[in-house]
Structure 1
Amino acid sequence: MAIQWFPGHMNSTKKAIVDRLPDIDVVIELLDARLPGSSANPLLAELTAGKPALKLLNKQDLADAELTALWLAHYQAQPGTNALALDASETAPARQLIPACRALAPLRGGMVKPLRVLICGIPNVGKSTLINTLAGQRAALTGDEPGITKLEQKIVLANDFYLFDTPGMLWPRITVEHSGYHLAASGGIGRNAYDEHEVALALLASVRPRYAERLQARYALGELSTLSDEELLADIGRKRGGLMAGGRVNLQKAAELAINDFRSGAWGRITLETPDEFSTWWAAGQALDAERQARRERRQRSRGRQLPTGHGDSG
């Protein structure tokens, strides 16, 4: 099942970004270091094409350090782009973004030509926490639910450094199935947009190939290779108090436990995708999207060729 979540305020966010962009020198995109490809907004990439970009991989303390290094190299190889990994609540790493932005726009700076930076990201990726860390005060609302920020904000980080914050924004249609599941597992999509049981199964399928031993250690499990994802989820429920009357497993509770353990870092430092994996998924998603579009156009042409009924010759 495809996962989609695009509340109405996201349309106004898109318009606010489009209106603001002509005055912007650098675009910061805050990503989730556990799913950098899936948390990168293709709509934002389209809107901000040609602008110097800084990719910030947040929650790096929850991500696999080796794969974070791969993702940083991936983004740093792109023209006009730099990338940093950080934890949004830590001041020293967060302050690195200021010189990084200045390096991307060396002709801007000083009171006559202040540097104007737009910061964007998906919901619940930690953008408000980062802004509060940078500003040294509660400049932005924070919370553990996506969609907290609803209005654009301007934050002055230095006399000649203006940061424009926008609400978290997804894109209208998620064409990469893995991305939908990874976003839901990370908390980037509203709870009413997905089924937790289905997301937990997809999450386990993503985690098992690289981190099976983490799951074994967390839940005191034996060999996992003979278990299906459904059986593994059931075993998690048994180990973590998800039993109902008669010894049956409450799979809904087991799914919630698995998702919460991933989000909290109880499985250790986990990254759900590599640059190569995401590139493969993206290409497959684009191909499927092109097929859907071609079928839609064929249906429209077919309807256009049909003669109207109920309009026979008269007289």
Structure 2
Amino acid sequence: MSIQWFPGHMHLTRKAIAERVKAIDVVIEMLDARLPGSSANPLLAELTGHKPTLKVLNKQDMADPARTEQWLAHYRAQPGTRAIPLDASHTSPARALVAECRELAPLRGGMVKPLRVLICGIPNVGKSTLINTLMGKRAAKTGDEAGVTRNEQRVALADDCYLFDTPGVLWPRIVVPESGTLLAASGAVGRNAYDDETVALDLLDLLKVDYPALLEERYRFGLDPAALAQAHADALMESIGRQRGALVAGGKVNLTKAAELVIADFRQGHMGRITLETPPQFLRWLAAGEAADAERQKQRPDRPKARPARRR
């Protein structure tokens, strides 16, 4: 399934980041710990260039701890990059963020050369919640919808450390189909960009193989892991709908309602601690997606040349 979502305000955010980054010492990219690869925006890497980067794997309390360690190792192996996990239970995130940023920019600090940090990330990754925690008040608007924050903000992390917040931004084209599904499942794209049933079925296909025990514990299918892995996702969703009373006249399952239940259970962590991708898995998806996109670009017919402007 191809999912695309790039509202008009994201074009403005892209320009704002490109302008702001000129005076920035460190870039913090917030990622969703449940899908660290798919929630890393390649557009940000393009905009921020070779600035030292701190990858923050947010919502790590909802992610698979073993896979979180794999992702931290993956990012820490990259030059000029540090990585830490974070979740809403951290009582002093500012201290952790400042410490990591100072390591990345040791020549900055003090009132003469304050440390300037830009925080970026895709929509609904938790930036606004973090900003509110840092400021100790409801300064940033939050919500369970993608694209809530629209304006840039500045936060003092310390006397000599300033954090600049920007609205969440996706990339203009999502070339990895699997990432589109994962982003939709996590709530990173607007509701009008995807079909609930398709996303829920794809999500069940992933979970029945990687997390059969958690799926069985949540929905009580009565299947052992091997049988669950072989079950059809549509049959599983039908079962979930019947269990949860998502029925219409005649006792038929309302598949849209059942799909909404599955997606909500994942987003709210009711299925348990889940990470939907590993570094090797995501890199395979990325290579395949980029190759397919390159082939599509080759096959596109040349656009007609623009007519020369008339002389006046």
- TM-score, normalization: structure 1? 0.93
> Hey, what does 1:30 align to over in structure 2?
30
- Residue 119 of structure 1 aligns to a residue whose secondary structure is strand
Partner of 1:202: 202
In the TM superposition, residue 133 of structure 1 has moved relative to its aligned partner by: 1.1
Say whether the 8 Å CA contact 1:95–1:134 is kept in structure 2. Answer: no
Could you give the per-residue CA deviations for residues 94-137 of structure 1, whole angstroms, max 9, x where no partner exists?
53011100110000000110000000000010001111111222
SS at match of 2:211: helix
Match of 1:291 in 2: 295
Q: Which amino acid aligns with 1:53?
A: T
- What are the within-5 Å matches in structure 2 for residues 177-192 of structure 1? 177-192=177-192
**Does 156-165 or 238-247 show the bigger shift?**
238-247
The CA deviation at 1:89 is 5.3
Gaps (5+ residues) in structure 2?
306-312
Question: Which range moved further: 198-207 or 217-226?
Answer: 217-226
Cα offset, 1:225, TM superposition? 3.6
Deviates more, 1:266-275 or 1:226-235: 226-235
Q: Is the 8 A contact 1:36 1:57 kept in 2?
A: yes
Report the secondary structure of 1:91's partner residue: coil
Report the CA distance between 1:250 and its aligned residue. 0.9
**C-alpha distance 226-206 of structure 1, shift in aligned 2 (>3 A):** closer
Matched, 1:282 2:259: no
Distance 1:205 1:249 in 2: 19
Q: How does 1:58-137 map to 2 (within 5 A)?
A: 58-88=58-88, 90-137=90-137
Matched with 1:221 is 221
1:226 is displaced (CA, Å) by 4.0
Root-mean-square deviation (CA, aligned residues, Å) is 1.3
State the Cα deviation string for residues 212-260 of structure 1 (Å, max 9, x = none). 1111111111222442111111111111111222221111111001000
2:77 aligned partner, one-letter code: A
Q: How far does residue 210 in structure 1 lie from its aligned partner after superposition?
A: 1.3
Cα distance in 2 between the residues matched to 1:207 and 1:26:
36
Counterpart in the other structure of 1:231: 235
- Measured after TM superposition, the shift of residue 54 of structure 1 is 0.2
Say whether the 8 Å CA contact 1:91–1:134 is kept in structure 2: no
Quote the residue 2:164 is aligned against: 164
- Is residue 261 from structure 1 mapped to residue 265 from structure 2 by the alignment? yes
Counterpart-to-counterpart distance in 1, 2:70 and 2:229: 27
Q: Which moved more, 1:151-160 or 1:33-42?
A: 151-160
- Alpha-carbon distance in structure 1 between the residues aligned to 2:156 and 2:141: 17
Q: Which amino acid counterpart does residue 300 of structure 1 have in structure 2?
A: D
Q: What is the CA deviation profile of residues 243-287 of structure 1, one whole-angstrom value per residue up to 9, with x for unaligned ones?
A: 222221111111001000011111100000000000000000100
Structure of higher CA gyration radius: 1
Could you tell me how far apart the structure 2 residues matched to 1:88 and 1:159 are?
Answer: 24
Contact 1:30 1:57 in 2 (8 A): yes
Indicate if the aligned counterparts of 1:154 and 1:164 stay in contact, CA closer than 8 A.
yes
**Aligned-pair distance for 1:41?**
0.3
CA deviation after TM superposition for structure 1 residue 93, in Å: 4.2
Question: 1: distance between equivalents of 2:30 and 2:263?
Answer: 22
CA contact (8 A) 1:94 1:130 kept: no
Name the structure 2 match of 1:5: 5
Counterparts of 2:281 and 2:230, CA distance in 1: 24
In 2, the alpha carbon distance for the partners of 1:156 and 1:217 equals: 44
CA distance in 1, matches of 2:196, 2:67: 26
Q: Contact (CA 8 Å) 1:90, 1:133: kept in 2 or not?
A: no
* Structure-2 residue corresponding to 1:300: 302
Q: Secondary structure at the match of 2:92?
A: helix
Find the aligned partners of 1:189 and 1:132 in 2 and give their Cα distance.
22
The Cα offsets for residues 155-214 of structure 1, whole Å up to 9 and x where unpaired, read as: 112121010000000010000001001000001111111100010011111211111111
Structure 2 distance, partners of 1:117, 1:16, is: 14
Q: Which residue of 269, 272, 276 corresponds with 2:276?
A: 272
